[in-house]
């Protein structure tokens, strides 16, 4: 089956809609091509140039780009022998083992990112050319994510030295963070690195991967549809500003350009970033999106994201929202420490959605409404009637699963009843499936992500019975790990978990009791990992 053989529904901008029939048709197209076929493997790349690692999307484990392959051809940045082998497997009706994230989801009869990524225009439009290839060819991506460095001014609890120099410095000064150390079974979690000095190339050092990138980037730039800079903290890398200058000098009207930032860099860097952003947001690219991250509200968010000043975060968030022609998306990696303040975060986000909805120009009403209808109406009144207006503020809620002791599935039923379900109710009550009123609400796709997280947590209560091996593995052990982790973290950072999260005192006690269970081996389970 070829792409042109399937019927797909598109919106006025030519983008595929989220209609279920679209997802079903794309899934059929992929399966007819091969049981493990995924267009993202051929069109999307995420590379970490600070360490010289790459993966096709964020799900497969990263692999090292061999320097000998890179020396032979700089296009090896996206065309390593490893990636070519995986592509050939897909073309030969095989499932690459590194893509097991999607296989596990599909084994439960759910739709995986294999379908959702493949139905994007930057992937689907290349389907027919890709299935005609052998897998040995060098491929140019249409979706590029790049991290130039692990330089970062924060050390989030769920992150590590691979992506944060602040984590590197912390581990150098204070040693590895060890959890459940000294138990009879010697099971423990360690946040550390055996060779921190060689973890990444320094910004000042020669980096062969960055050298190869700047040979490769001008060659692929005109074919890119999505280009996203990640980190570390991207605004701490000179390569980010070099990229913004390149885009200014080389406009690309089909490029969706985006940057991740924690909004916490020093004023001089922030002001420089805003100046560069203003120069490219109009008429230099198709769109600009700024992705930022926060997992809770106020001091609870600061506890999780060490180095965060929440008031500065809010101020700079509103500064971005007020620019116009810039979309700002909060990525909230939902975890067990998000539960009690996530509702407050949603309230603030909805307030911002309503306040800054009309900062993106609207052309629909100018082109489609007759003059007799427009006469005497203000622009804002007309904009409120436009169903095609882009909502400039968005919310993405990825589910944090690693480290496992921060997974929301270890929460108590009381936390679910008191916080998770009311938060879900609030978001559902403020979700409107109506393009004419998107500025008044959360979007359906935003709500569905929180809904799936909540449903997954409820499933834990239904399927994991206390005293079983599964309950020990998924609940008891991670709670014990969290108890140790919080105490080690507080000792190292001079913080106090219960002062910041007094409402989680009962949960904290459950975690302490879990530590005692693990320590005393009250529950003995074979082959628990």
- The token pair that represents 369 in the structure block: 């409404």
Q: Rounded to 10 degrees, what is the CA torsion of 196, 200, 203, 205? A: 90
- At residue 24 the predicted structure's pLDDT band, cuts being 50, 70 and 90, is confident
What sections of 9-64 are H helices per DSSP?
20-33, 40-43
Tally of CB atoms within 10 A around 97: 12
Res 91: pLDDT: 94
Q: pLDDT digit string (tens) for 448-473? A: 889 888 988 888 887 888 888 888 98
What phi and psi values does residue 466 have, to the nearest 5 degrees? -55, 140
Output the six-digit token pair for 237. Answer: 């890398």
What pLDDT shows up at residue 3? 67
* pLDDT category of residue 363 using cuts at 50, 70 and 90: very low
The Cα–Cα gap between 338 and 305 comes to 11
* Cα 65-69-73 angle, rounded to 5 deg: 115
Question: Bigger pLDDT: 56 or 192?
Answer: 56
Report pLDDT digits (tens) over 72-127: 999 999 999 999 999 999 999 999 999 988 888 888 777 788 888 898 889 988 99
Does 254 have pLDDT greater than 50? yes
Radius of gyration of the chain (CA): 24
Q: How confident is the model at residue 526 (pLDDT cuts 50, 70, 90)?
A: very low
Q: Enter the tokens of residue 251.
A: 């406009």
Identify the pLDDT of residue 379: 57
Angle at 148 between CA 146 and CA 150, to 5 degrees: 115
What's the longest Cα–Cα distance across the chain?
81
Residue 69 has pLDDT above 80, yes or no: yes
Cβ(460)–Cβ(474) under 8 Å? Answer: yes
- Provide the β-strand partners of residue 442: 431
CA nearest to 74, candidates 140, 160, 159, 155: 140
The answer to whether residue 365 scores a pLDDT higher than 50 is no
* Residue closest to 7 by CA, chosen among 124, 129, 109, 126: 124
pLDDT in tens, 148-198: 999 999 999 999 888 899 999 999 999 888 888 766 555 667 887 767 776
Domain ranges in the chain?
3-118+132-138, 142-331, 464-520
**In terms of pLDDT, which residue wins out, 261 or 356?**
261
d(CA 451, CA 421): 9
Quickly state the pLDDT bin for 332 (edges 50, 70, 90): very high
Map tokens 């979007």 to a residue: 443
Q: Where does the pLDDT of residue 358 fall: very low under 50, low under 70, confident under 90, or very high at 90 and above?
A: low
Q: What is the mean pLDDT of residues 481-496?
A: 95
Rounded to 5 degrees, φ, ψ at 335 are: -145, 180
Cα within 13 Å of Cα(111), Cβ side? 17
Q: Band of the pLDDT at 15, cuts 50, 70, 90?
A: low
pLDDT (0 to 100) of residue 187: 61
- Phi–psi pair at 260, nearest 5 degrees: -90, 140
At residue 236, φ and ψ (nearest 5 deg) are -95, 5
Judge whether residue 359 has pLDDT over 80.
no
Q: Which of 24-28, 218-222, 299-303 shows the lowest per-residue confidence on average (mean pLDDT)?
A: 24-28
Residue whose pair of structure tokens reads 């480290």 in the numeric block = 403
pLDDT at 54 over 60: yes
Tally: H helices and E strands in the chain: 25, 13
H/E stretch holding 517 reads helix 505-520
Provide the H-helix boundaries in 329-387.
342-355, 364-368, 371-374, 379-383
Helix axes 238-249, 267-280, angle to 10 degrees: 20
Share of the chain above pLDDT 90, in %: 58
- 226-230 and 143-147 strand pairing: parallel
Residues 291, 292, 298: CA angle, nearest 5 degrees = 155
- The CA distance from 19 to 14, in Å, is 14
| pLDDT-wise least confident of 55-59, 68-72, 312-316 | 55-59
Q: 45, 66, 65, 52: which is closest to 210 by C-alpha? A: 52
Q: Which of 290, 375, 362 is nearest to 331 (CA)?
A: 290
Highest mean pLDDT among 37-41, 309-313, 467-471, 514-518: 309-313
What local confidence, expressed as pLDDT, does residue 178 receive?
Answer: 86
| pLDDT > 80? residue 428 | yes
pLDDT band at 362 (very low <50, low <70, confident <90, very high): very low
Question: Which residue, 69, 72, 40, is CA-closest to 52?
Answer: 69
Q: Are strands 285-293 and 252-260 parallel, antiparallel or unpaired?
A: parallel
Assign 220 a pLDDT band (cuts: 50, 70, 90). Answer: very high
pLDDT at position 199 is 73
C-alpha distances in Å from residue 477, one per residue of 191, 363, 400, 519:
17, 55, 17, 10
Comparing 489 with 61, which gets the higher pLDDT?
489
The answer for residues whose C-beta is within 8 angstroms of residue 386's C-beta and 6 or more apart is 362, 364, 365, 436
pLDDT of res. 257: 96
Whether 141 and 45 have beta carbons less than 8 Å apart is answered as yes
Q: How far apart are CA 424 and CA 235, in angstroms?
A: 34
pLDDT at 13: 55
Is residue 336 scored above 50 in pLDDT? yes
Percent of the chain residues topping a pLDDT of 70: 84
Strands 305-306 vs 155-156: parallel, antiparallel or unpaired? antiparallel
Return the top range by mean pLDDT from 139-148, 201-210, 383-392.
Answer: 139-148
Look up residue 399 and give its DSSP letter: B
**Residue 346: closest CA among 332, 356, 358:** 332
Name the 3-class secondary structure at 327. strand
pTM: 0.86
Q: What is the mean pLDDT of the chain?
A: 86
């Amino acid at each position: 089956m070829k792409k042109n053989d399937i019927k797909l529904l598109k919106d006025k901008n030519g983008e595929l809609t989220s209609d279920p029939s679209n997802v079903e048709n794309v899934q059929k197209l992929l399966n007819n091509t091969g049981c493990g076929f995924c267009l993202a493997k051929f069109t999307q790349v995420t590379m970490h140039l600070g360490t010289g690692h790459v993966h096709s999307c964020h799900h497969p484990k990263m692999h090292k780009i061999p320097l000998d392959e890179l020396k032979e051809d700089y296009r090896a940045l996206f065309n390593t022998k490893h990636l070519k082998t995986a592509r050939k497997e897909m073309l030969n009706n095989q499932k690459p083992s590194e893509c097991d994230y999607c296989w596990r989801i599909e084994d439960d009869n759910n739709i995986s990112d294999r379908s959702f990524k493949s139905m994007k225009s930057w992937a689907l439009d290349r389907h027919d050319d890709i299935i005609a290839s052998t897998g040995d060819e060098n491929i140019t991506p249409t979706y590029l994510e790049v991290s130039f460095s692990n330089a970062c001014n924060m050390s989030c609890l769920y992150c590590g030295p691979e992506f944060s120099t602040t984590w590197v410095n912390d581990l150098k000064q204070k040693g590895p963070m060890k959890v459940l150390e000294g138990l009879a079974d010697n099971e423990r979690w360690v946040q550390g690195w055996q060779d921190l000095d060689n973890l990444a190339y320094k910004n000042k050092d020669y980096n062969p991967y960055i050298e190869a990138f700047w040979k490769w980037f001008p060659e692929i730039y005109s074919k890119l549809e999505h280009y996203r800079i990640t980190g570390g903290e991207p605004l701490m890398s000179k390569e980010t500003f070099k990229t913004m200058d390149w885009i200014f000098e080389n406009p690309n009207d089909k490029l969706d350009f985006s940057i991740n930032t924690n909004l916490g860099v020093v004023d001089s860097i922030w002001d420089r970033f805003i100046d560069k952003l203003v120069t490219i947001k109009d008429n230099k690219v198709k769109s600009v999106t700024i992705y930022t991250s926060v997992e809770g509200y106020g001091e609870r968010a600061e506890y999780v994201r060490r180095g965060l000043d929440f008031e500065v975060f809010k101020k700079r968030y509103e500064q971005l929202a007020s620019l116009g022609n810039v979309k700002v998306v909060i990525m909230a990696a939902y975890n067990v420490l998000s539960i009690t303040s996530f509702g407050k975060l949603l309230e603030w986000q909805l307030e911002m959605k309503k306040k800054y909805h009309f900062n993106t120009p609207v052309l629909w009403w100018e082109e489609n409404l007759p003059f007799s209808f427009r006469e005497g109406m203000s622009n804002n009144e007309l904009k409120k009637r436009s169903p095609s207006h882009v909502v400039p503020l968005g919310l993405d809620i990825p589910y944090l699963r690693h480290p496992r002791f921060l997974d929301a599935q270890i929460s108590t039923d009381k936390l679910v009843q008191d916080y998770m379900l009311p938060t879900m109710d609030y978001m559902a009550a403020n979700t409107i499936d109506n393009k004419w009123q998107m500025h008044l609400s959360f979007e359906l796709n935003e709500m569905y992500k929180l809904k799936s997280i909540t449903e997954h947590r409820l499933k834990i209560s239904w399927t994991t019975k206390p005293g079983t091996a599964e309950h020990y593995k998924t609940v008891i052990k991670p709670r014990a790990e969290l108890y140790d982790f919080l105490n080690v973290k507080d000792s190292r950072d001079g913080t106090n978990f219960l002062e910041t999260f007094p409402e989680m005192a009962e949960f904290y006690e459950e975690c302490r009791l879990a530590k005692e269970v693990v320590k005393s081996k009250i529950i003995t389970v074979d082959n628990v990992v």
